[in-house]
Amino acid sequence: MKKKRGPQFPLTQFIAIVVITISFFLVVDFARRTATIYRIKSEAARLEEEVAETRARSEALEARLRYVQSDAYVEEIARTQLKWAQPGETVVVVMATPQAVPTPPPGRQYVVTDGPPPETPWQAWWLLFLDIPPPR
């Protein structure tokens, strides 16, 4: 009596299946590692750009600090904002001249106010909308 044998796999098919399975896991692992390396390099490049921007901003701030601490800055502020002058100099203040009132187009009226023209834009808007002199 002969024994009935099941299907036999030749050794070469078994080895091929093992090699294909191992190759599949190696390809998946390689792809995962490649994606991780790409993310890390992208993040490193972004951080390098951020460091460069921060260094440039820091250098600009240090230059501004040196300028603010200098005598030239103090003199600029004294002359422009405080209207000071050095001894022997004369301060000249240029006053705005009254402008001619344009004739309004038909159907429009302009409000003419007594007093000097507005000095700042917010005062002009105040006069336009409220028609009363702005607070000083």
pLDDT tens-digit readout, 72-82: 999 989 888 88
Where exactly are the structural domains of the chain?
Answer: 11-78, 95-136
Using pLDDT thresholds of 50, 70 and 90, give the confidence band for residue 100.
low
How large a percentage of the chain has pLDDT more than 90? 44
pLDDT tens-digit readout, 26-60: 999 999 999 999 999 999 999 999 999 999 999 99
Chain CA centroid to CA 87, Å: 44
Question: For residue 2, how many C-alpha atoms fall within 13 Å in the half-sphere facing its CB?
Answer: 3
Residue type (1 letter), 94: V
